Amino acid sequence: MEAVTYSNFRQHLRAYMKQVNEDAKTLIVTSKNVEDTVVSYQREIMMPCKKH
């Protein structure tokens, strides 16, 4: 899981969104003033849980 600052994320929004979608990885966006935010690929969230 990668983490980037809010400023960096904002400056490179298109590239980070593409990265998250293509790699299906979660990205943490950090900020000094608010709690960190998680950007995730929608299919990762919407997939039903597999039973073991």
Helix, strand, coil percentages, rounded to 5, for the chain: 40, 20, 35
- The reported pLDDT for the residue numbered 49 is 60
Domain 2-43 falls in which CATH fold?
YefM-like fold (3.40.1620)
What are the residue boundaries of the structural domains of the chain, listed by start?
2-43
- The reported pLDDT for the residue numbered 46 is 64
- The reported pLDDT for the residue numbered 41 is 83
- The reported pLDDT for the residue numbered 47 is 62
- The reported pLDDT for the residue numbered 25 is 85
- The reported pLDDT for the residue numbered 35 is 93
For 5-36, write each residue's pLDDT tens digit.
Answer: 999 999 999 999 999 999 888 999 999 988 99
